[in-house]
Amino acid sequence: MEIKVIAGEITKIKTGAIIVGFFEGKERLASDIAAIDEALNGVITQLQSQGEIKGKLNELTTIHSLDKIPASRVLVVGLGKEKEFSLDKVRGAIAEACRWLRRKSVNDIATIPLGAGTAGISLESAAQAVTEGALLGLYSFRKHITKEPEFSEIKQLSIIGDKQIVPLLEKSCSKGKILAEATNLARDMINEPANWMTPSHMAEMAKKLAETYGLEATVLEREQMEQLGMEALLGVAQGSKQPPKFIVLHYSGSNSKEVDVALVGKGITFDSGGISIKPAEKMEEMKGDMAGGAAVMAAISAISQFKPKTNVLAVVPATENLPDGCALKPGDVLKMMSGKTIEVISTDAEGRLILSDALGYIKKLGAKQIIDVATLTGACRVALGDICSGAFGNNQELVDKVIAAGAEAGELIWQMPMYEQYKEQNKSDVADIKNAGGRYAGAITAAQFLAEFVGETPWVHLDIAGTSIAEKERGYLVKGATGVPVRTLVNLVLSMVK
């Protein structure tokens, strides 16, 4: 979909539909919607007085203009209560509106920066949110469906504003477009079946991103991993015929050779659980166990387009976790790249194994800060559901920055405890540490395991097991992969160089 910023008045735009917002409980219409109401001979006011338009969040009311204005339709979208309004509600409302109009076979639409001037929201922020909401809300994954879609896609969204602010709105829309398209890239990767998104496919994708966005790409093969002593990653990989890949993407935005921020993503392209095999029900969803890897790859592709003066590394250890005669077994002991030994209690706790080698690799490079992202534990999903990602860290300042970046993106993050007492559950009788600390506090003990490999480096671990997938449409989230936390990571990096 093409997004344009046009100078003009919303009542004079020729288009398939215009979208306007209405707050719940408001007696008087805002100026833009009032102008449309006047042109339509008061029909919006009439529907409001009759109780058909209430303004409840994401309520949709279609009005046919009958040639009273150049637009064929007016879609009034509820914005909820003004005192509870936020940018994320802009994203959600515009997404719901766009999907509704797509179902009505509307090909082009126009709107204003919804919500601007409310709750401290600027015109630029509103325009960015409208752009993000439209592109994220209209996302679909139909690559493997041969049947023609029931509805045609919306081809153009025009955002209308005064002539003097068009350059500002264009800049904001451009930012929203980069963030949304990067998120949709991650969604595409995660939604791919595991036979189409193998470790090798992830590595090829990394090389394409590097070529497109001017990144430096390095892919370590099995032999190189052996030389580096990555026994944990190789141990998980040994049950699969698919070769493991260790993917490194480097964005260089400053003259320094130091790594300012390292982004690490779990890249298990299919997780059967290995010998500790998972139940069959919903195992097909385990194609998405590389959501963390997809997120950091997409994030660094977006970061490179903003050209911040910083150096960012994205690292993805990628493999399948399958059972065969060569597979890792419960009770095995592995030696990590860092030199630590690990007793394998569960082969289904494989994500922390491959991440430990990735963290060891980054530690040797001397990265100043580390953020890792992983669909790591069912325990985090039990604790927080599909609303919040869990944040665990060793540096409160960095944790706060991550949470703030998530709030800006509308990707909610909740900090979890990291008390020393939890480490007791990870103690092993036969090795330095074991890879599963038991049933209780599973998300925390998994994070404590990872903490062993970062030392004093400021670090945050994001567990996205619950938030990486949506069971149904909700605002700008569509069923399937969500692309969390691509926009959080981009916001974080950009905030660090302001």
**d(C-alpha 359, C-alpha 366), whole Å:** 11
**d(C-alpha 90, C-alpha 87), whole Å:** 5
- Indicate the DSSP class of residue 420: G
Cα separation values, 48 from 112, 239, 457, Å:
21, 63, 57
Q: Is 62 exposed, middle or buried (0-12, 13-18, 19+ CB in 10 A)?
A: middle
Q: CB-based contacts of 254: which residues, under 8 Å, 6+ apart?
A: 260, 309, 310, 311
How many helices (DSSP H) and strands (DSSP E) are in the chain?
A: 14, 20
Q: Which of 352, 363, 381, 401 is catalytic?
A: 352
Q: Which of 26, 278, 329, 340 is catalytic?
A: 278
Q: Is 195 exposed, middle or buried (0-12, 13-18, 19+ CB in 10 A)?
A: exposed
Beta strands 17-24 and 108-111 are parallel
Cα separation values, 239 from 151, 233, 277, Å:
43, 11, 12
3 state SS of 35: helix
Residue type, 410: G
Q: Is 278 a catalytic residue?
A: yes
**d(C-alpha 495, C-alpha 358), whole Å:** 25
Q: How far is CA 66 from the centre of its chain?
A: 41
* Angle in degrees, 0-180, between the axes of helices 166-191 and 486-495, rounded to the nearest 10: 130
**d(C-alpha 329, C-alpha 272), whole Å:** 14
CA within 13 Å, CB half, 398? 22
Please give the positions annotated as active site. 278, 352
